[in-house]
Amino acid sequence: MGSFWKKITGFFSKLALLEFLHPLYIRMLEFLQTLQVLRSNNMLEFQPVTAHSQPIPAPFRIDLQLFAAEDEGRTQPASERRRREEREKGNVPKSPEVASAIVLLAGIVLMYLMGEYFFMRSYYLLRKYFFGIRSANVISSEAISELLNNALVDITQLLLPLMGITVVAAIVGNVVQTGFLFAPRALAFNFGRIRPNFKKVLPNRQTLFGLAKSLVKVAVIAWVSYFVIEKDFFRILMLGNMGLEESVALITFTAFKIFIVVGILLLAISVGDYFFQRYEYEEALKMTPSESKREMKEQDGDPSLQARRRQMARDQIKKSKMLAEVPKADVVITNPTHFAVALEYKPNKHRAPIVIAKGVDDFALRIIRVAKANDIATVEDRPMARTLYDEVEIGQEVPAKFYTALSVIFTKLESFRRAFRNAS
C-alpha cells in the first residue's frame, strides 16, 4: 500500500510543474496525506460495495466541505475607498460596444456629408497616378520613391477627415461612460494578465451574455441587410441598364441605408451592454462582511486620520470664534486679498493694539466681508498684513516696531470718525 501512495504523490508532483495547478497540487497532497494517516491509525475503512450490500458506516467520516474554500458570500456593497482604488487601477464599468457604435455612426455620417469630396478626390488621384506612370519617360528608383511619397501624402490628406472624426468619436464613446480618466497604473506590467484564466472559458453569466450579444448583432445585420436590399432589389437588377454614375449612386445609397440603420441598432444594443457591464462591475466589487468590517476598522482606526479630523474640527471652531470677534475690531489690515488681520485697540484697556482675528486666502476674504458688513475700516498695507499674520498670534499685542505706522492709521480713523459725527 505504501508504494501506491508514492505513485500517487509522484504523479501529482509532475502536475505541479504547471504553475496554474500549484494550489490544486497542494490541496490534493494534504488530502492524500490525511487519508494515509487515518488509514495507518485504523480510523478509516474502505468497504467494497456490491449491488446487494448495505453501506457500512466507517469509524471515521470525512466531511469534504472541510476542504472547500471559505466563502462568506459577497453581499456588502462596495465602499468609496474600494471604488476609488479600482478607478485608480483603470478598472471602471464600460462597454467597448458603445465606442464602436459611435465610431461607426460618425464615420457613416461623415461619408454621407463629404461623399462627393471623397469620390472626386479619389477619381483625381487615380487619374493623376495612372496617367503619371504611363507618361513617365524614365523609371528609376528616385522617381518611384518620389511617386510613393507623393501618393502617401495625397492618401493621408484624403483620409485625414475620416481618421480625425473616428478618433474624436472613440474618445467621446469612452468619456461618456467613464468620464475623464487617466490611470498610469493600468499601463504597468502585470504578470497576472498573461496567466491562463479558465473562468473565462467555462460558461458563466458574462460569456453567455457575450454569446447572446454576438448572435443578436449577427441577426440584426442580416435582417437589416435583407430588408434594405429587398426594397431596392428590382432597381439593383437593373444596374446593367444604368450608367456608371447612376449605378454607383444606387449602390452607395443602399450601403448607406444599411450602415446607418445597423449603426443605430448597434448603439441601442451597446446601451444595454453598458448597463449589463455596470451591473457585473458592481457585483464584482461587492465585499464579504469580514472585508467590510476590516476596511471600516482601517478607516476609523487610522491614528493619522483621526488626528487630522480633530485638527480640522479645532480649526473650524477657531475660525468661527475669530469671525465672531471681527465686529469688535477697530481696523482690518489687508494684503488686500491674501491676508487679513483684525486689530482692536481701546486706550483705556489695552497698552497696544490686539490681534483678535487673522486669516489667509478664503478666510481672509470672509474676515473682510464681515468687517464691511459691520462698518469696520479696512486699510491695505501688504508688508504689515503679512508680518502681523506670521509673527503675532491671536490675543497678543502687536510688536513695538509697528507702533508708528499703526498710530498714523488710528489717528486718521479717529479724525474720520470725528468728522463724520460733526457732519451728522
Which residues are CB-contacts of 100 (< 8 A; sequence separation ≥ 6)? 173, 266, 270
Q: Which domains are delineated in the chain?
A: 322-422 (3.40.1690.10)
Per-residue pLDDT tens digits of the chain, which is 424 residues long = 455 545 555 554 554 444 445 555 566 666 666 666 555 655 545 444 444 445 444 444 544 444 444 445 677 777 777 888 788 787 888 888 999 999 999 999 998 888 888 888 888 888 887 776 666 666 677 777 887 888 888 888 888 988 999 999 999 988 888 888 777 666 666 666 666 665 566 677 888 888 899 999 999 999 999 988 888 888 888 887 888 778 888 888 888 899 999 999 999 999 999 999 888 888 888 888 887 777 777 666 666 667 777 888 888 888 888 888 888 887 888 877 788 888 887 777 777 888 888 888 888 888 888 888 887 878 888 888 888 888 888 888 888 787 777 777 777 776 666 655 555 5
Nearest to 170 by CA among 270, 63, 98: 98
| CB environment 223-255: b (16+ within 10 A), e (fewer) | ebbeebeeeeeeeeeeeeeeeeeeeeebeeebe
Local structure of residue 36 (DSSP, 8 states): H
Residues 399 and 378: their CA atoms lie apart, in Å, by 20
Give pLDDT, residue 67.
42
pTM reported for the whole predicted model: 0.50
Query: How many angstroms separate the Cα of 347 from the Cα of each of 53, 410, 415, 416?
Result: 112, 11, 16, 18
Query: Quick check: 125 and 158 in contact, CB under 8 A?
Result: yes
pLDDT for residue 353: 83
75: phi then psi, degrees, rounded to nearest 5: -115, -15
